[in-house]
């Protein structure tokens, strides 16, 4: 399916079906994906998905309904489906209550972003897994293909975001829960780059054959890699930065807002749309600013404000999506050279990955989670042994506040490998963090 042409045709059809006095907003999603799942270096589930979902919001006065439907790429069939959907939406609109928080962009701001690439064929992908996993226990997923987002309204606005990409996300396993996590993602596939990443992961794998070190609950010096911070920010992003979460006092940053707690002055975080991978527009047609400062110098700055929240709380929207979730988190770098991180850690815990974050006490920004994969026990700046899984229970006001010793000067650009419903377009740019005292409870 040529998504771009199909989007144009769909937008025209919806516009033609929109009556005087009505406004229509059309959100388009197209995906052509190859998914190759593997375990123990052999193929588990290989397949492809061609998907196309369109959401049409029909607005009349202060009433609004939203209808999503799948389209086929066949002109007559799609027109019939859109006719039925819009007719049903129009009927529903008549009995719908007024929406006091109705908001959509009435100023046309069209935009276009297209990034096409040549991706590996099915056979190349299978061969790459076989070669990389040869003699190793390799498990994970290769996902690749085109993702397309479009927005149109009957006022003439058109926004288009289309990109081709691949994401090979895997582990080399030693045994039980001891593994090295690796990822090769981008737009231009190179076997040599895959071999370089795999070679580096294999080197770490050899350390996992040492006997596991079990530590007692308590406080330890800790170095958290960018991947570990990714897990923390992924969790804090849910409900941390949205205006609605702030106004209903449900954010874990509540104490920074109330002035009863602050983060370390090195903590600065922004939603950096211009350097991320997500579309620069949202589903009500608003175009996002290049970036929004969320935390700056340890203090809370701005919220992500969706159009609905903007009306509800009487402020200006900054083009956030409906859930007010960040998609392109950018955490400022520090000054610690990454190759000195272990030396500066001295004796303590090297946390390669964290897992399953949640709250122990959200009001106090206290979170829990677990170490995972190739987390290590370090003595005098040298890795000594793989770490037995430990549960953390600590507050952001400590590990991003009083106990934060340094952030690394180098940062990683981490492309989200998740694919719930759709392949993710989220990303983060993060440093590593050295923490003086990091609390484990189990």
| Residues 213-232, interacting with other proteins (CB under 8 A) | none
Provide the minimum distance between the beta carbon of 271 and other proteins in the complex, in angstroms, as a whole number: 23
User: According to CB under 8 A, which one of 128, 171, 222, 292 is a site residue for other proteins?
Assistant: 171
| Minimal distance, residue 89 CB to other proteins, in Å | 7
The answer to whether 60 contacts other proteins (rule: CB under 8 A) is: no
158 or 174: CB nearest other proteins: 174
Look at phi and psi of residue 435 and say left if phi exceeds 0, alpha if psi is from -120 to 50, else beta.
beta
Q: Which among 354, 64, 85 has a CA at the least distance from the CA of 226?
A: 354
The token pair at 112 is 């276009």
CB of 410 to other proteins, least distance (A): 25
- Contact predicate 385/374, CB 8 Å: no
Near other proteins in 341-380, by CB under 8 A? 355-364, 366, 368-370, 372
Binders of other proteins among 321-340, rule CB under 8 A? none
**128-157 footprint of other proteins as x/- string (CB under 8 A):** --x------x-xxx-x--------------
With a CB cutoff of 8 Å and minimum separation 6, the contacts of 25 are 56, 57, 59, 104, 151, 152, 153, 283, 284, 285
Inter-residue contact 358 to 235 (CB < 8 Å)? yes
Q: How many CA atoms lie within 13 A of 208 on its CB side?
A: 22
Residues 6 or more apart in contact with residue 220 via CB below 8 angstroms: 348, 349, 437, 438, 440
Binding of residue 11 to other proteins (CB under 8 A): no
Query: Which residue lies nearer to other proteins by CB, 127 or 379?
Result: 127
Within positions 71 to 100, which residues make up the interface with other proteins, using CB under 8 A?
A: 71-74, 77, 81, 85, 88-89, 92, 95-100
Site string for other proteins, 283-312 (x = CB under 8 A): -----------------------------x
Q: Give the binding range for other proteins (CB under 8 A) out of 69-77, 157-165, 223-231, 404-412.
A: 69-77
Secondary structure (DSSP) of 16-44:
HHPPTTEEEEEEEEEEEEEEEEEETTEEE
Angle ∠(370,372,378) on CA atoms, nearest 5: 100
> Using the rule CB under 8 A, is 249 a contact of other proteins?
yes
């Amino acid at each position: 399916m040529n998504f771009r042409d199909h989007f144009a045709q769909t937008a025209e059809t919806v516009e033609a079906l929109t009556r005087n006095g009505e406004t229509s907003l059309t959100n388009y999603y197209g995906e052509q994906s190859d998914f190759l799942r593997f375990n123990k270096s052999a193929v588990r589930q290989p397949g492809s998905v061609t998907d196309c979902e369109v959401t049409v919001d029909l607005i009349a006065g202060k009433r609004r309904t939203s209808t999503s439907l799948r389209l086929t790429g066949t002109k007559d069939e799609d027109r019939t489906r859109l006719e039925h959907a819009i007719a049903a939406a129009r009927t529903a609109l008549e009995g719908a209550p007024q929406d006091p928080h109705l908001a959509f962009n009435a100023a046309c701001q069209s935009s276009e972003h297209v990034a096409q690439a040549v991706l590996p064929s099915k056979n190349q992908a299978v061969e790459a897994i076989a070669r990389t996993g040869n003699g190793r226990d390799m498990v994970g997923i290769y996902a690749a293909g085109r993702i397309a987002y479009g927005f149109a309204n009957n006022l003439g606005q058109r926004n288009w975001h289309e990109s081709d990409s691949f994401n090979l996300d895997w582990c080399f396993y030693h045994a039980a829960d001891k593994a090295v996590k690796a990822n090769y993602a981008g737009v231009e596939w190179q076997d040599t780059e895959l071999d370089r990443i795999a070679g580096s992961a294999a080197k770490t794998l050899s350390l996992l054959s040492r006997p596991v070190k079990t530590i007692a609950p308590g406080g330890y010096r800790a170095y958290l890699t960018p991947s570990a911070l990714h897990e923390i920010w992924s969790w804090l992003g849910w409900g941390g930065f949205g205006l609605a979460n702030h106004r209903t006092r449900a954010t874990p940053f509540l104490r920074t807002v109330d002035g009863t707690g602050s983060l370390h002055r090195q903590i600065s975080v922004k939603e950096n749309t211009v350097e991320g991978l997500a579309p620069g527009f949202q589903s009500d047609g608003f175009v996002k600013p290049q970036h929004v400062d969320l935390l700056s110098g340890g203090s809370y700055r701005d919220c992500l404000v969706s159009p609905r929240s903007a009306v509800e709380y009487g402020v200006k929207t900054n083009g956030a999506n409906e859930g007010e979730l960040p998609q392109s988190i950018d955490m400022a770098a520090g000054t610690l050279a990454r190759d000195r991180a272990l030396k500066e850690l001295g004796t303590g815990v090297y946390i390669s990955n964290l897992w399953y974050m949640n709250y122990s006490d959200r009001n106090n920004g206290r979170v829990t989670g677990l170490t995972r994969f190739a987390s290590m026990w370090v003595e005098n700046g040298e890795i000594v042994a793989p770490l037995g899984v430990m549960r953390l229970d600590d507050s952001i006001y400590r590990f991003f506040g009083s106990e934060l010793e340094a952030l690394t000067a180098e940062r990683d650009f981490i492309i989200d490998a998740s694919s719930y419903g759709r392949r993710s377009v989220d990303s983060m740019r993060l440093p590593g963090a050295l923490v003086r005292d990091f609390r484990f409870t189990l």
